[in-house]
């Protein structure tokens, strides 16, 4: 069964950094367009960032551009999200999701808490 | 960006009834590039519908979608107990991809 598994979440102080990873089983991430989407506690879904499967072109949502960056590690078969200058409002569950348009496979998410 | 407004925010229904959820876009969603997701508590979203009306693999046929332009609906023909959760619409006609704020279907 195809699965995505996120890791790397945790508690971080404001201004700190975290690197999230998304690993896949039963398929190769390098062949797929991938995204990061987050959900603040009790809130809706917010798309954050996308990476192409053709040339690793990336797109990042305006509110986190310059602080968050998506990348691919082909050797590890992961897609990562580097998050810098974290703010309390970045507290959320972070999901990786497959797809270039709609998202047909999601991981279970990893919780990021930004608090002092 | 395209803003999606879902209504109602909460839909109170009984098992066996038909539920109709609405998603209205602030601009035309070209090519009916709209998807619907279901999210159960503590779980990741699950794709139900894409291209406004195509069911994803394994989705029961009691779920159907329709619409074009700026107005889209998700219909659940006969509510099962496991359907009383939250539903989101998402457009992929333009970047950034955006989601509606969700409709919670609750037991009346």
Task: Name the one residue in this structure whose structure tokens are 């699965």.
Answer: A3
> For every one of its 116 residues, what pLDDT tens digit does chain A have, with 9 covering 90 and above?
999 999 999 999 999 999 999 999 898 888 899 999 999 999 999 999 999 999 889 999 999 999 999 999 888 889 999 999 999 999 999 999 999 999 999 999 999 999 99
- Nearest CB neighbour to A47, from listed B96, B101, B102: B96
Judged by a CB distance cut-off of 8 A, whether residue A108 touches chain B is: yes
Residues of A in contact with B96 (CB under 8 A): 47, 59, 61-62
Judged by a CB distance cut-off of 8 A, whether residue A47 touches chain B is: yes
Q: How far is B56 from chain A (nearest CA, A)?
A: 8
**pLDDT (tens digit, 9 = 90+) per residue, A2-35?**
999 999 999 999 999 999 999 998 988 888 999 9
Tell me the CA end-to-end span of chain B in Å, nearest whole number: 35
Judged by a CB distance cut-off of 8 A, whether residue B58 touches chain A is: no
The 3-class secondary structure across A37-73, one letter per residue, is: EEECCCCCEEEEEEECCCCCCEEECCCCECCEEEEEE
Question: What's the pLDDT at A74?
Answer: 84
Write b or e for each residue in B71-97: b if 16 or more Cβ atoms lie within 10 A of its Cβ, otherwise e. ebbbebeebeeebbbbbbbbbbbeebb
Nearest CA in chain B to A110: B44
Please report how many Cα atoms fall inside a 13 Å half-sphere around the Cα of residue B65, on the Cβ side. 28
Decide: B52 and B34 in contact? Cβ < 8 Å. Answer: yes
Residue B11: pLDDT band with limits 50, 70, 90: very high
Q: How far is B65 from chain A (nearest CA, A)?
A: 15
């Amino acid at each position: 069964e195809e699965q995505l598994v996120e890791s790397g979440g945790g508690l971080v102080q404001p201004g700190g950094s975290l690197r999230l990873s998304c690993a896949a089983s039963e398929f190769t991430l390098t062949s797929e367009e991938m995204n990061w989407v987050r959900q603040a506690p009790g809130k809706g879904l917010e798309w954050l960032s996308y990476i192409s499967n053709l040339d690793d072109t990336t797109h990042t949502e305006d509110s986190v551009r310059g602080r968050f960056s998506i990348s691919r590690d082909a050797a590890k078969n992961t897609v990562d999200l580097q998050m810098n200058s974290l703010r309390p409002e970045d507290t959320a569950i972070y999901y990786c999701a497959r797809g270039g348009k709609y998202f047909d496979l999601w991981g279970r998410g990893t919780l990021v808490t930004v608090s002092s | 960006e395209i803003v999606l407004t879902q209504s109602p925010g909460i839909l109170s229904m009984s098992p066996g009834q038909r539920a109709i959820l609405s998603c209205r876009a602030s601009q035309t969603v070209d090519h009916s590039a709209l998807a619907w997701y279901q999210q159960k508590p503590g779980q990741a979203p699950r794709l139900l519908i894409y291209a406004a009306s195509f069911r994803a693999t394994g989705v029961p046929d009691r779920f159907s979608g329709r619409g074009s332009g700026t107005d889209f609906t998700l219909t659940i023909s006969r509510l099962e107990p496991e359907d009383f959760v939250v539903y989101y619409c998402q457009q992929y006609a333009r970047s950034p991809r955006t989601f509606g704020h969700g409709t919670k279907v609750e037991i009346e």
